[in-house]
Amino acid sequence: MSRAAVPGLPSRHPIGEQLPALYADDDFAQRFTAGLDTVLAPVFTTLDNLPSYFDPRLAPADFLTWLATWVGGTDDPRWPTALRREAVAGAVELHRWSGTRRGLVEALRLVLGVSAEVTGDGGAAWSSTAGGALPPAPADEVLVRVWPRPGGAAGSAAAVDPAHEVNEVNEVDADRVRALVRSLCPVHTVCRVEVLTGPPTNEEGRQ
């Protein structure tokens, strides 16, 4: 992450204009300070726009990885820039839902660009009726179904190739999905992953 001289970028505070009047018509002094202006112009421009550098929706693309480290987010330069911005912007909110179905579904969408459905609760069951009969024993397994999203970042070359149409459906990287699910599922649960070609149907057990 660096900023260098930008050809043709004018300085808002030319040094030559700040010199004593004696140097106003001094060609050497003006040319010398103009070279320094070329170096300092990007600095002034960066400082003038500093708030935008801390907004993931406006920051230069090469700042996104740095911003992701601030909020414990995930960033991959191979993803489309729009998805990278969304992942960093949503990282803090995502931490609030860590360990929940919503958190897992959102993480899969933001980090890997896939749609997901989570069924099962890992063995938790309760009754809202005092003194009532115990609820049936729940399944001790959490089932995570994932499928491609149009224009997602599921690890295919199409997701990062601007020559492809944005509505192209990308393949799901099953290994990355399983790794992310393992890292996010609560330690006491057993999470099983199914990779589908499209949204689950009623025949596949979707509720």
Report yes or no on 206 lying in a domain. yes
How is residue 12 written in tokens?
């808002």
The closest alpha carbon to 6, from 49, 52, 45, belongs to 45
Report yes or no on 137 lying in a domain. yes
Residue range 191-196: mean pLDDT, rounded = 89
What sign does the CA torsion over 172, 175, 178, 183 have? negative
Mean pLDDT of the chain: 79
Please give the pLDDT value at position 133: 80
3-state secondary structure of 145: strand
Report yes or no on 89 lying in a domain. no
Residues 141 and 44 in one domain: no
Domain extent for 146: 99-207
Q: Looking at the predicted structure, is the pLDDT value of residue 157 above 80?
A: no
Q: Looking at the predicted structure, is the pLDDT value of residue 70 above 80?
A: yes
Report yes or no on 77 lying in a domain. no
Count of domains forming the chain: 2
Put simply, whether the predicted model's pTM sits higher than 0.75 gets the answer no
Q: What is the pLDDT of residues 117-141, one digit of tens each?
A: 988 766 666 677 888 787 766 666 8
Residues 122 and 36 in one domain: no
Residues 132 and 42 in one domain: no
Please give the pLDDT value at position 204: 53
For the domain that residue 150 is a member of, what is the CATH number?
Answer: 3.30.300
The closest alpha carbon to 178, from 136, 85, 116, belongs to 116
Residue 144 vs residue 138, higher pLDDT:
144
Q: Looking at the predicted structure, is the pLDDT value of residue 165 above 60?
A: no
Share of the chain above pLDDT 90, in %: 10
Please give the pLDDT value at position 96: 86
Alpha-helical (H) ranges within the chain are 27-48, 50-53, 64-70, 81-89, 91-96, 101-112, 174-184
Task: Provide the phi-psi class of 118: left if phi over 0, else alpha when psi is between -120 and 50, else beta.
Answer: beta
